[in-house]
């Protein structure tokens, strides 16, 4: 497998701003979360709360499964037509941060942590939104709206949680037990011997537990 240079030698575009990058990726997702919530508010009148919760849990599990599958079988396997994702993730992100050192030292490190904004737009508006519109049309108005809310919200959470996992270990957020546990889960994934085999979930280790890939 070809080798990339370590983080010190990797190029980041001149004038790169982690804050603008973060605002771009999360800002691309939030309008869909809000729109889904507003549609749910108007279309979900009269829906029994337990039914709504069950569908929400189902959508969360599905989104978590997509996160797991994409990470395991696209980002860590070179696929025809999807090699860019493999190069950016396995060769660059994992080279930039190995297990002993996944902490961002400066703003430039977030260039290799956050999704490219075009990637978020493509996934959210090119895949997630049309799928939820089809659900709304053929299964139920409020179900599509809920799917959009949970699906878009999950990708928003993915960006936030993955960024937090790479915060310096001394960050006060890691006093919270479950946030520390999520970070440790991801830190182990960055161990070169484990990255292709263990800890593919980021937001919650649901499928790693169910499929026995939790380190
Ligand atoms: Zn990472
Ligand atoms: Zn990975």
Contacts for 215 with CB less than 8 Å, ≥ 6 apart: 188, 189, 191, 194, 198, 199
**pLDDT reported for residue 6:** 64
Which ligand lies nearest the alpha carbon of 115?
A: 1
Ligand 2 center to 52 CA (angstroms): 33
User: What phi and psi, each to the nearest 5 degrees, are found at residue 203?
Assistant: -70, -40
Q: How far is CA 191 from CA 184, 185, 195, in A?
A: 11, 11, 6
pLDDT in tens, the chain (215 residues): 555 556 666 778 888 999 999 999 999 999 999 999 999 888 777 788 899 999 999 999 999 999 999 999 999 999 999 999 999 999 889 988 876 689 998 898 999 999 999 999 999 999 999 999 999 999 988 999 999 999 999 999 999 999 999 999 999 999 999 999 999 999 999 998 899 999 999 999 999 999 999 99
Whole-angstrom Cα distance, residue 193 to residue 89?
A: 15
Ligand 1 center to 9 CA (angstroms): 19
Which ligand lies nearest the alpha carbon of 187?
A: 1
Give kind and range of the element (H or E) at residue 133: helix 129-138
Ligand 1 center to 53 CA (angstroms): 30
Which ligand lies nearest the alpha carbon of 161?
A: 1
Ligand 1 center to 41 CA (angstroms): 35
**pLDDT reported for residue 14:** 87
**pLDDT reported for residue 43:** 77
Whole-angstrom Cα distance, residue 92 to residue 17?
A: 19
Ligand 2 center to 114 CA (angstroms): 13
Contact 206, 213 (CB under 8 A): no
Contacts for 153 with CB less than 8 Å, ≥ 6 apart: 29, 33, 36
Whole-angstrom Cα distance, residue 161 to residue 183?
A: 9
Which ligand lies nearest the alpha carbon of 97?
A: 1
Ligand 1 center to 89 CA (angstroms): 9
Q: Which two tokens stand for residue 17?
A: 């701003």
Ligand 2 center to 183 CA (angstroms): 13
**pLDDT reported for residue 97:** 86
Q: Within 10 Å of residue 214's Cβ, how many Cβ atoms?
A: 16
Which ligand lies nearest the alpha carbon of 89?
A: 2
Ligand 1 center to 140 CA (angstroms): 37
Residue 115's nearest CA partner among 159, 169, 149, 53 is: 159
Which ligand lies nearest the alpha carbon of 195?
A: 2
């Amino acid at each position: 497998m070809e080798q990339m240079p370590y983080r010190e030698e990797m190029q980041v575009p001149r004038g790169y701003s982690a804050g603008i990058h973060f605002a771009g990726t999360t800002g691309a997702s939030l309008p869909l979360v809000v729109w889904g919530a507003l549609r749910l508010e108007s279309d979900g009148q009269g829906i029994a709360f337990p039914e709504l919760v069950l569908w929400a849990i189902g959508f969360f599990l599905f989104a978590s499964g997509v996160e797991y599958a994409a990470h395991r079988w696209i980002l860590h396997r070179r696929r025809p037509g999807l090699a860019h994702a493999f190069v950016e993730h396995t060769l660059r992100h994992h080279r930039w941060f190995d297990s002993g050192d996944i902490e961002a030292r400066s703003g430039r490190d977030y260039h290799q942590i956050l999704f490219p904004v075009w990637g978020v737009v493509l996934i959210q508006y090119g895949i997630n939104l049309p799928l939820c519109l089809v659900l709304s049309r053929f299964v139920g108005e409020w179900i599509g709206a809920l799917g959009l809310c949970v699906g878009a919200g999950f990708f928003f959470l993915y960006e936030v949680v993955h960024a937090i996992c790479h915060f310096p270990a001394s960050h006060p957020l890691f006093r919270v037990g479950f946030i520390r546990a999520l970070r440790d889960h991801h830190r182990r994934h960055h161990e070169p011997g484990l990255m292709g085999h263990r800890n593919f979930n980021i937001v919650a280790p649901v499928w790693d537990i169910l499929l026995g890939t939790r380190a």
